[in-house]
Structure 1
Amino acid sequence: MEKVVFSQREAEVLRWLHEGKSSWEIGVILGISERTVKFHVANMCRRLNVCNRMHLVSKAMHMKILH
């Protein structure tokens, strides 16, 4: 399994996804637009080869990217 490194912002978005926050809520918390949150989620999904947020969080935990 290849090592995947996320940017600091992607890691923040991933942490809030893990907490169950919506894209809108994450945007408010981080002071960015909902569209930007969705952009980061889509990039992370593409890099981990997953199709949705739940699978993203699950695979990130499995790969020990998210603790």
Structure 2
Amino acid sequence: MVKLTSRHRACLYWASQGKTSWEIGQILGITERTVNFHFGKLYDLLGVHTRQAAITAAVQRQLLDLNQVPIPGLTHPQTLTIPDSIQPSLFQ
């Protein structure tokens, strides 16, 4: 059985919203390279080769709920800061 970390779910969620690796990194407070590292691990875990395939596989296997914004390690929602240039409509 495949288990995704909260960071994996967050990367997949933001990719499903059309965000680039750089934008996902800005949202999550990690580097673009780290985001790409997480996607590499996701591809291996899910047995796929693309982001779209990873998102589809995660949703089909019920590993990702696109109706919930995953925020890894966040205990106080008021501490979440998303740069204005990439704020999703969900938070506007």
Q: Same fold (TM over 0.5)?
A: yes
Distance in 2 (CA, whole Å) between partners of 1:58 and 1:11 is 12
SS at structure 1 position matched to 2:63: coil
Instruction: List runs of 5+ in structure 1 lacking aligned partners.
Output: none
Give the RMSD, CA atoms, in angstroms.
0.9
* Percent sequence identity over aligned pairs: 40
* Greater share of residues in helix: 1
Regions of 4+ moved over 6 Å: none
What's the counterpart of residue 12 of structure 1?
10
Unaligned runs of 5+ in 2: 66-92
In the alignment of these two chains, the number of paired residues is 65
- Which segment drifts farther, 36-45 or 11-20? 11-20
How far apart in 2 are the matches of 1:19 and 1:66?
A: 13
Displacement of 1:41 = 0.5
What aligned pairs does 1:22-41 form with structure 2 within 5 A after superposition? 22-41=20-39
Which of these two proteins has the greater Rg computed from alpha carbons? 2
Q: Which residue is 1:43 aligned to?
A: 41
